[in-house]
Amino acid sequence: MAIHSAESPAIDLPLDSVAKPDSVAKPDSVPKSEAELSPMKRALIALKQLQLKVAELEYAQHEPIAIVGMGCRLPGGVATPEDFWQLLRDQQDAITDLPPDRWDWAKFRSTESIPLDTPIGRQGGFVPHLLEFDAAFFRIAPREAVSLDPQQRLLLEVSWEALEHAGLAADRLVGSKTGVFVGICSIDYWQRLLSQNWAAMDAYLTTGNTHSLAAGRISYVLGFTGPSVAIDAACASSLVAVHSACQSLRQRECNLALAGGVNRILEPATSLNFAQARLLSPVDRCKTFDASADGFVRSEGCGMVVLKRWRDAVQAGDPIWAVILGSAVNHDGRASGLTVPNGIAQQALIQQALQQSQVDPAQVSYVETHGTGTALGDPIEVNALTTIFGNRASDQPLILGAVKTNIGHLEAAAGIAGLIKTVLALQHQEIPANLHWQTPNPQIDWTAPIQVPTHSLAWRQTDQPRIAGVSAFGFNGTNAHLIVADRPSHLPPTAVSPPILPTHAPSAYLLLLSAKTETALQALIDRYHHYLVAHPKVELADLCYTAFYGRSHFAYRIAIVTQTQTDLLEKLHQLATGATPPQTYRAKIQLAASMAVSHPIDDGLTDDERTDLPSVEEAMMQAQRYVQGASIAWYWAGQSIVLPTYPFQRQHYGVESDRQAAE
C-alpha cells in the first residue's frame, strides 16, 4: 500500500512491515500431555504468551490512525481540499465584508446604541448557501429542513463529500461500526428560531438545533452504528473530536470514523460579546505573531476527516493522506483567569502527545499553531513551543504556521482547518506562507530556533518521515494537540507487490455516473467533463474504478463506454451540451421506497478473471445492465483516486432574522 497523492511520490509500506503483535514469537506447540512438560518449559510457554498479550496491548494503545479522506467548506470559496490548497498556495486573504444574509452592521450599531469604539466585526470569513440545502438528497422533509441548523446541513454535506474523497460508497457502510465525532458550539440559529412567535415553533426545533443531533443525524442518515458524539470544547472542539475518534478506533469501538467540526455565524450577539471582551481585532484580521496583533476575526466553515486504523487502511488499499501518530487533551486548570491561556498546561499537553506518538521533539519540523493573533495568547503559545522544541540546531528551526491569517478563526472548526492544512502541506511537500506578519512580536523570544514562513517553504520527503504538530486551545481552558506524519515514524519505506493487472490495456472502459435527480446527473456530467479537462493524464482504469466502487449509485443513471481519454472527453462534452453520443446509455431505474441507493455489486470475479480484457461488446452489455438496475460484472482493475463529489441541488429553507424580515 502506498501513501500518495497526485502531487507527491508514493511511499510504499507493506502490512507485514508494521510493528504489530504478530511480530512476537508464538509459543511452541503444546504437546498432547502437559504432564510431559518440565516446569521450565511450561514457564517459558507462559512467558511467551504473556509477551504476546503485552505486545497486543502496546500496539493497540499506539497504533497510528490513517487519514483516508477529507472534506471542507471554508471562507474564500473553498469547497474542496483542492480549493483549500489553491487558496493557501496563492497566499489569499479570505476575509470579506459581512454578507447581506447576516445582519446590517451599520443599522445594528445605530439601533442598539453600540459605542463607536467597540469593534463588532464588519468583516469575517464566510461560507455561502447559509439557508440553502439539498433536503431531498438526505431524505429530510421540507418542513423539518426549515428548522434545521445550517451547521447540521453543512455537516451532512461535508461528511458525504469526505467519504467520496476517501473512495468509500456510503451505502456500503450502512450498519457498519462507523463513528461520528463532531465539534460544535454555536447556537445562532436556535436563538433565531426562539425569537419567533411561539405559535411559529414546531416539533423540529429541538432536533434541528440540539448539538447532540449534529452527530446523531449523520449516523442516522447514513446508517452508522458506532459512537456518535458532539463535543463542545470551544475553539478546541474539532481537534478534541479527532482525538476522541482516534481513541475510539484504538479501543475497537468503531472501525471507521468521521471526525471534524463546524461553525456558522448568523446573529450579531456573539460578535458583540467577543468585542466587549476585547477579543476581536478592530481591523478584522488575525495578525498572528506580529507586534500589532490585536485580536482575531470571526469566521465560519466546516471540515471532516475520514479515519481508519493504520493496518486496516493498508489492508483495504485505501488512499492514505497522512497519519495521526498520537494526540492529547488537557485543561489549563487554575490559570490567572478563566479564559487566560496557561503555558505550563500547553507544554504538558504537547509532551503527552509526543509520548503517545513515540516521537522525539527534534523529529517535529512544523507546528500548525492555534495562533489567534492576540497580544496575550501568541507569546504564551510560542514560549511553550520553544520550551518543548527549542533543543535543535539553528539551521533546522521549527516552522510555525497559522492558517487563521488566511481564513480567520473558525472557532469550533478552527482545529480541523489547521489539521487539513497540515495534511495538504505534507501531500504537496510545501509549507504555505503566513499572512500579516511584518514586525515580530517583541514579547516572543526570536533568538530561539523558530521561523515564521513569509513565503512558501519546501518540505521535501526524505528517508525520514516528516512530522508536524497541530494545536487548538479553547477559551474554556481545554487544549488539544495532534502529532501528524506522512507515515508512521518507526517504519522504513519498503516495496510491496503490485496488484495483478492485465498485461495490456483493455479495448474498452466503462464509466458509470448516477444522481438522485436528472438535474443533478447533468451537473455531475459537467463536473466530470471539467475534471477530465484539468486532468488529461488520469488513468481511465482508476477513474472508472473509483466511480464504480467509490460512489453510491442512484436512480438516474448514465453509462459511457469509452476507449481513450480523448474519446471520453468528447462524449462528456456532447452530453454536457444535450447530445447523446454513441455507446452511451441513460435511464431512470425504480428503487424501493425504503432505498435511496442501490449498489450494482459485481459478480465476484477473481483477480485472474479480472485480467481478461473486456471487449467493446462486453462493456456495452454491462452498460445496458447498469442502466436497467441489474448487477454487473466489473472487469476493470484500478485504485481509488480523488474525483468530483456529488452536486447537491440546494433550495432555500429557513427563517430570516427579525432585522431581515423588517427590511
Residues 439-447 have a mean pLDDT of 96
Residues 105-125 have a mean pLDDT of 77
Vertex 193 angle, CA 189 and 197, to 5°: 165
* Predicted local distance difference test score (pLDDT) of residue 35: 63
* Predicted local distance difference test score (pLDDT) of residue 596: 55
CA–CA dist 182, 232 (Å, integer): 9
CA–CA dist 569, 447 (Å, integer): 56
CA–CA dist 180, 177 (Å, integer): 10
Q: Which residue has the higher pLDDT, 276 or 25?
A: 276
CA–CA dist 338, 332 (Å, integer): 9
Instruction: List the one residue out of 210, 81, 214, 195 whose CA is nearest residue 151.
Output: 214
Vertex 195 angle, CA 194 and 199, to 5°: 75
Percent of the chain with pLDDT over 70: 87
Reading the block at residue 620, the C-alpha cell is: 456495452
Q: Which residue has the higher pLDDT, 226 or 631?
A: 226
* Strands 11-12 and 132-133, bridge-based pairing: unpaired
Which residue's entry shows cell 456510503? 170
* Predicted local distance difference test score (pLDDT) of residue 265: 97
pLDDT band per the 50, 70, 90 thresholds, residue 37: confident
Instruction: List the one residue out of 370, 346, 376 whose CA is nearest residue 443.
Output: 376
Burial of 45 (0-12, 13-18, 19+ CB in 10 A): middle
* Predicted local distance difference test score (pLDDT) of residue 588: 94
Residues 111-140 have a mean pLDDT of 87
pLDDT at 19 exceeding the cut of 90: no
CA–CA dist 267, 399 (Å, integer): 37
* Predicted local distance difference test score (pLDDT) of residue 494: 36
- Exposure string of 294-320, with b = 16+ CB inside 10 Å and e = fewer, is bbbbbbbbbbbbbbbbbbbbbeeebbb
Residues 239-260 have a mean pLDDT of 98
Burial of 465 (0-12, 13-18, 19+ CB in 10 A): buried
Instruction: List the one residue out of 156, 261, 187 whose CA is nearest residue 480.
Output: 261
Residues 421-444 have a mean pLDDT of 97
Q: Which residue has the higher pLDDT, 489 or 424?
A: 424
| Mean of all residue pLDDT scores within the chain | 88
Inter-CA distances, 531 with 13, 198, 427, 576, 642, Å: 29, 49, 20, 13, 10
CA–CA dist 332, 340 (Å, integer): 9
Is residue 234 within 8 Å of 475, Cβ to Cβ?
A: yes
Helix (H, G, I), strand (E, B) or coil at 172: helix
pLDDT band per the 50, 70, 90 thresholds, residue 21: very low
pLDDT at 109 exceeding the cut of 90: no
Is residue 448 within 8 Å of 164, Cβ to Cβ?
A: no
For residue 412, count other CB atoms closer than 10 A to its CB: 34
Is residue 338 within 8 Å of 186, Cβ to Cβ?
A: no
Read off the pLDDT of residues 167-192 as tens digits, 9 standing for 90 and up.
Answer: 999 999 999 999 999 999 999 999 99
* Predicted local distance difference test score (pLDDT) of residue 636: 84
pLDDT at 446 exceeding the cut of 80: yes
Inter-CA distances, 454 with 139, 292, 447, 490, Å: 47, 16, 17, 32
Residues 470-488 have a mean pLDDT of 95
Which residue's entry shows cell 472548526? 413
Residues 242-251 have a mean pLDDT of 97
Residues 393-409 have a mean pLDDT of 96
Reading the block at residue 72, the C-alpha cell is: 471542507
Residues 11-27 have a mean pLDDT of 40
Residues 641-663 have a mean pLDDT of 83
pLDDT band per the 50, 70, 90 thresholds, residue 489: low
* Predicted local distance difference test score (pLDDT) of residue 304: 98
Is residue 520 within 8 Å of 551, Cβ to Cβ?
A: no
Read off the pLDDT of residues 281-312 as tens digits, 9 standing for 90 and up.
Answer: 999 999 999 999 999 999 999 999 999 999 99
C-alpha torsion angle, residues 625, 556, 582, 641 (rounded to 10): -90
pLDDT at 153 exceeding the cut of 90: yes
pLDDT band per the 50, 70, 90 thresholds, residue 515: very high
Q: Which domains does the chain have, with CATH numbers?
A: 2-62 (no CATH), 65-485 (3.40.47.10), 509-627 (3.30.70.3290)
